[in-house]
């Protein structure tokens, strides 16, 4: 009897520790990120490091998977009118902000109206220009009235800046963010670290599994790598591509690489000579060896492509070949355009964006045989933004993955697109029509066909040369479990544990 | 003497005022203001105007300057335009971190620099002299970021003796806190020491050759006494000036070491602010560094006067 | 200078007339530096490859007979690039130092000799400039205009003006009290004459020692500015930029950083030897003793 009692006690103890063990072991994840954060206010974020915080601290109405799909997040369900101009979202009941207040439809309305306000300066603002009005018939329903039919509206709410913030805390959101996400903000020491702790009231029961996450800001890659190898940090976010090889042989470390739709490109300004001639732009494109550029600029961590639609995307047009460079063809086109002996051009590259610097330097070599003599100018980033983009004739630029196909392409390629006139001043009526039709497309097949047509049109009459999309690479120690790199380059740590 | 110090203090305030105007003027002609940075890539003019209006950047320059200056006079350094948090605590925390690092490096540079310089001078053209020269040359011959990275690879990555970066926390124990300071402060010392040791050496050699030391020798004083009592005092005069300059150098170039060692100091914060044209942060950072440096100079001048009987401040025109 | 050297020089008369009393440090420093300058000038003709010639297949190759210092991440020949880098780095160091001496020395002499209001005005102006940390001053200057080598030289030169002024002034201050200056004053010599003929020759040694370190500091400050992103323009790189750009690969391909690093080290040592030699050669007291 006595023995049995002790046995039962022991069993209880064992089951108790078994119950507690995962929670204990989940522990704290230490992550290295390279840059300091400008702001914690989701609506104003512009950096990859800031986007990480957006998805850990806040939630959106919907969630995108980076492969073209969209899932519910704060919105449990949604519906659209037949003309695709009225969208109704039903909120998940009982979701609480980190300060304990319950989420209401009015928070959604206020958050989106704040993004629409020009003085907020949110990069997501232009996407919501199509919103005419927002109504909140009850606490759990939000109705958006659009100016135009727009099939991809639900996906917009999975975007990085489009987080739902508490409407009574806008003033302090930049320093003490409060959201509905899996982790709660604890502290931010600029230049040093960001500390987050588990949100015990997260609406998905049992998540997150970690107790806390600490982000260390480490600008020098040698320091990040040393910290990972010696166990000072558990995970390095967005490993510099040139450092990957030296980690591959380390048995304690997993290198996790995933394709994204982040792209670099040689921008050729259609408003400037000689790039006002489509034949010149095509000749530049023909002279480039895209596969070699992936090797040189990305150390192989990327994929050749036609436009920003990555080969991993269902809308990618695989009928167009990624050809070898055609020097003779390019020379012929240049001669037709009136440049039989080629021309001289200054190519501007931004300092501190190593893939674009390498792209520029490699392009200089590849363009020489066709007679294009390139002079490379390195420009500091702020000057690049103010004086080069949209103004210079020829420069290397690049853009982060965007969650929806329309916001990835329309702003750049449509002649009225918000970024077009500030990038390459590209005008092609055929592409305008295809992109407008795709917005109103009713079925997935119709949409896919239109985007494939867009890629064929862009290949014939290029706006610039987009040689590749980049991989996003994280490295972590073997004791980190349940982690997968996201194609959107943020960190999803809801399922992650540390042993 | 007291009058002189008061005069200098007034001078320092004047310098800071002139600097604040100068920095303000420079940020005005810098291409791209903070509104462009906040609006991000490809923002339209209306957005930039709206942000400029919200931040008051559309007011005339003198109004903006006065707005900032009157805030400072009433003890309010303003908010960082980028980070939207008060500048005061932000700058102060970063400054204290850097000051700790710089102070350690400064003491090491001063002590070891002078000791090595004197040793080299006394043993001129002998082995010690050459060894000190080689050591100084090696330290000064390549940029500090090179040594910083070598230090990380050797001491953090392969030997795993010291952390590769970041700031320590006293709550994790004294060693954890101190260990984070070792590599950055050694890097700073190594790249700066030649400056002091070579100047000390050359002025020590000068002094040892002076009539005054020769007279002392003629009197039959032991060499050690001559060096300590007579030569050192004179030989250190130029070194004091250079050490004061090194304070400015340390507070500036520390940015490179801070960047490599992920150390949250004022150099990196200032660089962050300059890159983003965040005026309140730039002003507060530069003025704080300048104030520290002005005081270092004042102290150097007082020490100079103390060591050099030829100069009596207060009645300089004799 | 030790007596033994003087005696040797006495014994070897032809040698002595050849070197005109110069000391070995000065000779070695000057020779190495002359060699470096010659290499820098001749770089485009003696470099085995074009400095910007890229080859994807042969990138990050270790040193070999074909590539003496290996290749960098674009397959460019590191040896050729180091030779070409000598041009930018030497020009950077010497030109910036010249700028700081040209402006700084006269101001320092004047301030230290005249004292009073002039001194006060010059010193307060240098205080303002000096109160900027060097790198921040360079950054603020460079941030206003697009980067170019000449702007960087002037920016770095200006950065070092105030410290040159201060050092010159402090030396002048000491010298102004010396007997030979007092004597010149008593003879009624003009200030310009006294500064030029009496003070400057005696002020040179510490200024030159300082300037010799300054050349290397200018090269290093240029490197630091490159590290921050305001340096020379690729693909033509100065040594500082080469080291800075090779930093992510330092573990995998150390030769890319080592070649310019060693070149920089040799330059620094040569310049310092030259500075030391100059100090000893220019020292009038020593000449008196030697003669």
Q: What is the pLDDT of residues A243-262, one digit of tens each?
A: 887 788 889 999 999 988 89
Closest partner residue to B274 among C139, C210, C264, by Cβ?
C139
At residue C146, the pLDDT reads: 60
pLDDT band at A217 (very low <50, low <70, confident <90, very high): very high
pLDDT band at A426 (very low <50, low <70, confident <90, very high): very high
- Whether chain B has a CB inside 8 Å of the CB on A402: the answer is no
At residue C1, the pLDDT reads: 37
Q: What is the pLDDT of residues B133-175, one digit of tens each?
A: 888 878 877 788 888 888 888 888 888 888 888 887 777 778 8
Contact C176, C108 (CB under 8 A): no
Contact C275, C213 (CB under 8 A): yes
Phi and psi at residue A469, to the nearest 5°: -110, 150
Kindly determine whether residue A357 and residue C234, on different chains, have CB atoms separated by under 8 Å.
yes
At residue C8, the pLDDT reads: 46
- Provide mean pLDDT across the span B251-275: 86
**Nearest-angstrom CA–CA distance, A94 and A196:** 23
Kindly determine whether residue A222 and residue C252, on different chains, have CB atoms separated by under 8 Å.
no
Kindly determine whether residue C229 and residue A352, on different chains, have CB atoms separated by under 8 Å.
yes
- Provide mean pLDDT across the span A254-276: 92
- Provide mean pLDDT across the span B195-215: 81
Residue A368 has pLDDT above 60, yes or no: yes
Residue C225 has pLDDT above 70, yes or no: yes
Contact B35, A386 (CB under 8 A): no
**Nearest-angstrom CA–CA distance, A447 and A224:** 43
Residues 6+ apart with CB under 8 A from B73: none
- Provide mean pLDDT across the span C49-65: 77
- Provide mean pLDDT across the span A224-237: 92
Kindly state the helix (H) or strand (E) to which residue B267 belongs, with its residue range: helix B266-276
At residue C282, the pLDDT reads: 63
pLDDT band at A218 (very low <50, low <70, confident <90, very high): very high
Q: What is the pLDDT of residues B73-112, one digit of tens each?
A: 888 888 888 888 899 999 999 999 999 999 999 999 999 9
SS3 A401: coil
At residue A85, the pLDDT reads: 92
**Nearest-angstrom CA–CA distance, C33 and C30:** 5
- Whether chain C has a CB inside 8 Å of the CB on B63: the answer is no
- Provide mean pLDDT across the span A438-459: 92
- The residue of chain C nearest to residue B288, with distances taken between CA atoms, is C131
Asked whether the bond before A274 is cis by omega within 30 degrees of 0, the reply is yes
**Nearest-angstrom CA–CA distance, A242 and A225:** 12
At residue A212, the pLDDT reads: 95
The more confidently predicted of residues C209 and C285 is C209
SS3 A407: helix
The burial of A465, by beta-carbon neighbours within 10 Å (0-12 exposed, 13-18 middle, 19 or more buried), is given as buried
**Nearest-angstrom CA–CA distance, A216 and A181:** 20
pLDDT band at A320 (very low <50, low <70, confident <90, very high): very high
- Whether chain A has a CB inside 8 Å of the CB on C227: the answer is no
Q: Which residues of A touch C235 (CB under 8 A)?
A: 361, 364, 376
pLDDT band at C64 (very low <50, low <70, confident <90, very high): confident
**Nearest-angstrom CA–CA distance, B275 and A390:** 21
| Residue B154: DSSP 8-state | I
Kindly determine whether residue A223 and residue B260, on different chains, have CB atoms separated by under 8 Å.
yes
- Provide mean pLDDT across the span A76-96: 94
- Provide mean pLDDT across the span A304-326: 91
Residue C35 has pLDDT above 90, yes or no: yes
What contacts 24+ positions apart, CB below 8 Å, involve C13-19? none
Listing DSSP states for chain C in one string gives --HHHHHHHHH-HHHHHHHTT--HHHHHHHHHHHHHHHHHHHHHHH-SS-TT---STTTTPPP-SSSTT-B-TTS-BHHHHHHHHHHHHHHHHHHHHHHHHHHHHHHHHHHHHH-HHHHHHHHHHHHHHHTS-HHHHHHHHHHHS---HHHHHHHHHHHHHHHHHHHHHHHHHHHHTSHHHHHHHHTT--HHHIIIIIIHHHHHHHHHHHHHHHHHHHHHHHHHHHHHT-SPPTTS--HHHHHHHHGGGTTT-HHHHHHHHHHHHHHHHHHHHHHHHHHHHH-HHHHHHH-
- Provide mean pLDDT across the span A386-407: 88
Q: What is the pLDDT of residues A435-444, one digit of tens each?
A: 999 998 888 8
The more confidently predicted of residues A375 and A454 is A454
pLDDT band at B32 (very low <50, low <70, confident <90, very high): low
**Nearest-angstrom CA–CA distance, C74 and A363:** 12
- Provide mean pLDDT across the span A87-99: 95
**Nearest-angstrom CA–CA distance, A258 and B250:** 42
DSSP H stretches of helix in A238-396: 244-248, 278-287, 290-298, 327-336, 354-367, 381-383
pLDDT band at A81 (very low <50, low <70, confident <90, very high): very high
SS3 A63: strand
Kindly determine whether residue B245 and residue C216, on different chains, have CB atoms separated by under 8 Å.
no
Least confident of B26-30, C83-87, C111-115: B26-30
Q: Is A235 left (phi over 0), alpha (psi -120 to 50) or beta?
A: beta
Length of chain A counted residue by residue: 499
Residue B211 has pLDDT above 70, yes or no: yes
Residue A25 has pLDDT above 50, yes or no: no
At residue A334, the pLDDT reads: 95
Q: Which residues of B touch C265 (CB under 8 A)?
A: 137-138, 141-142
- Provide mean pLDDT across the span A124-138: 92
Residue C280 has pLDDT above 80, yes or no: no
Provide the CB-side half-sphere exposure for C163 (13 A, CA).
Answer: 31
Interface of A with C (CB under 8 A): 220-222, 240, 242-243, 245-246, 292, 295-296, 351-352, 354, 357-358, 361-362, 364-365, 376-381, 383
Q: What is the pLDDT of residues A169-212, one digit of tens each?
A: 999 999 999 999 999 999 999 989 999 999 999 999 888 999 99
pLDDT band at A382 (very low <50, low <70, confident <90, very high): low
Residue C12 has pLDDT above 90, yes or no: no
pLDDT band at A449 (very low <50, low <70, confident <90, very high): very high
Kindly determine whether residue C235 and residue A292, on different chains, have CB atoms separated by under 8 Å.
no
- Provide mean pLDDT across the span C157-178: 87
Q: Which two tokens stand for residue C166?
A: 């201060």
Least confident of A126-130, A407-411, A489-493, B127-131: B127-131
Closest partner residue to C224 among B194, B253, B311, by Cβ?
B253
- Whether chain A has a CB inside 8 Å of the CB on C250: the answer is yes
At residue A473, the pLDDT reads: 93
At residue A285, the pLDDT reads: 95
Kindly determine whether residue B145 and residue C247, on different chains, have CB atoms separated by under 8 Å.
yes
- Whether chain A has a CB inside 8 Å of the CB on C74: the answer is yes
At residue B3, the pLDDT reads: 87
Token pair 């480490």 in the structure block, residue: A218
Residue C47 has pLDDT above 80, yes or no: yes
Asked whether the bond before A208 is cis by omega within 30 degrees of 0, the reply is yes
DSSP H stretches of helix in A45-98: 48-57
Least confident of A114-128, C14-28, C201-215: C14-28
Least confident of A45-59, B178-192, C53-67, C271-285: C271-285
At residue A167, the pLDDT reads: 94
At residue C6, the pLDDT reads: 43
Q: Which residues of B touch C268 (CB under 8 A)?
A: 137, 140-141
Q: What ipTM is given for this predicted complex? A: 0.84
At residue C135, the pLDDT reads: 73
| Shortest distance, CA B244 to any CA of chain A (angstroms) | 28
Residue A2 has pLDDT above 50, yes or no: no
Pairing assessment for the beta strands A464-477 and A302-304 based on DSSP bridges? antiparallel
Kindly determine whether residue A246 and residue C73, on different chains, have CB atoms separated by under 8 Å.
no
**Nearest-angstrom CA–CA distance, C31 and B56:** 60
Axis-axis angle for helices A429-440, A405-413 (nearest 10): 150
Residue C21 has pLDDT above 90, yes or no: no
């Amino acid at each position: 009897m006595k023995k049995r009692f002790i046995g039962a006690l022991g069993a209880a103890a064992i089951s108790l520790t078994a119950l507690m063990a995962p929670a204990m072991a989940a522990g704290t994840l230490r992550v290295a990120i390279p840059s300091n954060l400008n702001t914690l206010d989701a609506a104003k974020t512009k950096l990859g490091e800031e986007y990480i915080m957006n998805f850990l601290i806040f939630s959106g109405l919907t969630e995108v998977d980076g492969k073209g799909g969209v899932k519910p997040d704060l919105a449990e369900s949604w519906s659209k009118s037949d003309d695709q101009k009225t969208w109704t979202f039903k909120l998940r009941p009982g979701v609480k902000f980190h300060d304990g207040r319950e989420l209401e439809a009015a928070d959604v309305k206020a958050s989106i109206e704040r993004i629409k306000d020009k003085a907020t300066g949110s990069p997501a603002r232009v996407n919501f220009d199509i919103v005419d009005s927002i109504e909140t018939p009850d606490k759990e329903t939000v109705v958006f009235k659009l100016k135009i039919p727009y099939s991809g509206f639900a996906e917009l709410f999975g975007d990085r800046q489009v987080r739902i913030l508490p409407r009574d805390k806008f003033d302090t959101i930049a320093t003490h963010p409060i959201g509905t996400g899996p982790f709660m903000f604890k502290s931010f020491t600029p230049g040093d670290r960001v500390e987050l702790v588990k949100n015990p009231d997260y609406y998905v029961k049992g998540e997150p599994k970690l107790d806390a996450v600490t982000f260390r800001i480490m600008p020098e890659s040698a320091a990040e790598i040393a910290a990972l190898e010696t166990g000072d940090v558990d995970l390095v976010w967005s490993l510099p591509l040139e450092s990957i090889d030296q980690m591959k042989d380390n048995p304690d470390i997993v290198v996790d690489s995933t394709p994204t739709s982040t792209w670099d490109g040689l921008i050729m300004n259609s408003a400037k000579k000689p790039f006002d001639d489509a034949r010149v732009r095509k000749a530049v494109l023909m002279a480039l060896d895209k596969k070699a550029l992936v090797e040189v600029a990305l150390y192989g961590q990327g994929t050749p492509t036609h436009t920003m639609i990555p080969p991993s995307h269902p809308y990618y047009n695989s009928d167009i070949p990624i050809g070898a460079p055609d020097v003779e063809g390019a020379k012929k086109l240049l001669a037709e355009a009136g440049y039989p002996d080629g021309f001289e051009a200054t190519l501007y590259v931004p300092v501190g964006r190593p893939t674009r610097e390498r792209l520029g330097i490699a392009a200089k070599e590849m363009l020489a045989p066709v007679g294009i003599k390139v002079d490379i100018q390195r420009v500091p980033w702020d000057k690049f933004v103010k004086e080069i983009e949209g103004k210079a004739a020829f420069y290397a630029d690049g853009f982060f993955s965007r969650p929806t196909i329309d916001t990835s392409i329309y702003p750049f390629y449509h002649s009225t697109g918000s970024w077009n006139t500030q990038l390459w001043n590209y005008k092609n009526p055929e592409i305008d029509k295809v992109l407008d039709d795709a917005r109103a497309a009713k079925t997935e097949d119709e949409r896919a066909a239109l985007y494939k047509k867009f890629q064929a049109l862009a290949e014939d009459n290029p706006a610039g040369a987009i040689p590749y999309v980049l991989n996003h690479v994280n490295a972590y120690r073997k004791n980190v479990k349940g982690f997968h790199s996201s194609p959107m380059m943020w960190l999803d740590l809801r399922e992650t544990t540390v042993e | 003497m007291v009058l002189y110090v008061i005069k200098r203090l007034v001078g320092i305030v004047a310098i800071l005022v002139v600097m604040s105007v100068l920095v303000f003027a420079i940020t005005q002609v810098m291409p791209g203001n903070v509104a462009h940075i906040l609006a991000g890539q490809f923002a339209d003019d209306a957005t930039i105007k709206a942000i400029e209006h919200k931040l008051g950047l559309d007011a005339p320059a003198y109004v903006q300057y006065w707005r900032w200056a009157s805030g400072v006079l009433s003890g309010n350094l303003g908010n960082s335009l980028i980070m939207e948090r008060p500048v005061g605590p932000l700058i102060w925390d970063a400054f204290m971190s850097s000051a700790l690092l710089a102070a350690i490096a400064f003491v090491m540079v001063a002590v070891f620099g002078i000791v090595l310089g004197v040793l080299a001078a006394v043993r001129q053209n002998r082995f010690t002299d050459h060894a000190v020269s080689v050591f100084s040359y090696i330290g000064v011959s390549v940029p500090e970021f090179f040594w910083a990275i070598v230090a990380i690879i050797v001491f953090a990555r392969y030997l795993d003796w010291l952390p590769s970066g970041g700031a320590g926390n006293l709550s994790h124990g004294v060693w954890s806190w101190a260990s984070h300071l070792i590599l950055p402060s050694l890097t700073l010392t190594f790249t700066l020491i030649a400056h002091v040791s070579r100047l000390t050496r050359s002025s020590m050699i000068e002094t040892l050759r002076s009539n005054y030391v020769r007279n002392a020798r003629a009197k039959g004083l032991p060499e050690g006494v001559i060096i300590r009592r007579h030569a050192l005092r004179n030989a250190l005069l130029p070194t004091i000036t250079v050490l004061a300059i090194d304070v400015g150098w340390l507070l500036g170039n520390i940015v490179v070491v801070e960047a490599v060692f992920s150390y949250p100091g004022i150099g990196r914060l200032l660089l962050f602010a300059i890159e983003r044209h965040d005026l309140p942060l730039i002003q507060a950072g530069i003025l704080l560094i300048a104030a520290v440096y002005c005081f270092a100079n004042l102290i150097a001048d007082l020490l100079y006067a103390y060591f050099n009987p030829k100069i009596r401040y207060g009645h300089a025109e004799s | 200078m030790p007596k033994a050297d003087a005696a040797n020089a006495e014994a070897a008369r032809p040698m002595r007339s050849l070197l005109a009393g110069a000391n070995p440090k000065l000779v070695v420093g000057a020779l190495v530096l002359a060699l470096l300058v010659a290499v820098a000038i001749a770089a485009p003709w003696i470099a085995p490859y074009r400095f910007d010639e890229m080859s994807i297949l042969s990138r990050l190759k270790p040193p070999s007979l074909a590539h003496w210092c290996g290749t960098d991440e674009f397959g460019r020949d590191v040896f050729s690039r180091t030779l070409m880098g000598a041009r930018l780095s030497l020009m950077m160091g010497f030109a910036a130092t010249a700028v700081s001496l040209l402006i700084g020395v006269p101001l320092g002499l004047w301030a230290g000799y005249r004292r009073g209001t002039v001194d006060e005005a010059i010193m307060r102006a240098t205080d303002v400039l000096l109160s900027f940390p060097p790198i921040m001053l360079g950054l603020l200057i460079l941030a206003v205009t697009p980067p170019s080598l000449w702007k960087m030289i002037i920016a770095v030169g200006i950065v070092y003006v105030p410290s040159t002024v201060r050092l010159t002034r402090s030396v002048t201050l000491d010298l102004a009290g010396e007997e030979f200056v007092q004597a010149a004053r008593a003879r009624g010599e003009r200030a310009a004459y006294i500064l030029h003929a009496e003070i400057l020759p005696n002020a040179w040694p510490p200024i030159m020692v300082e300037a010799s370190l300054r050349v290397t500091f200018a090269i290093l400050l240029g490197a630091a500015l490159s590290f921050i992103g305001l340096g020379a323009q690729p693909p033509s790189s100065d040594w500082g930029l080469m080291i800075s750009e090779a930093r992510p690969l330092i573990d995998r391909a150390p030769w890319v950083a080592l070649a310019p690093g060693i070149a920089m080290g040799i330059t620094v040592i040569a310049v310092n030897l030259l500075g030391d030699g100059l100090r000893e050669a220019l020292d009038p007291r020593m000449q008196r003793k030697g003669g």
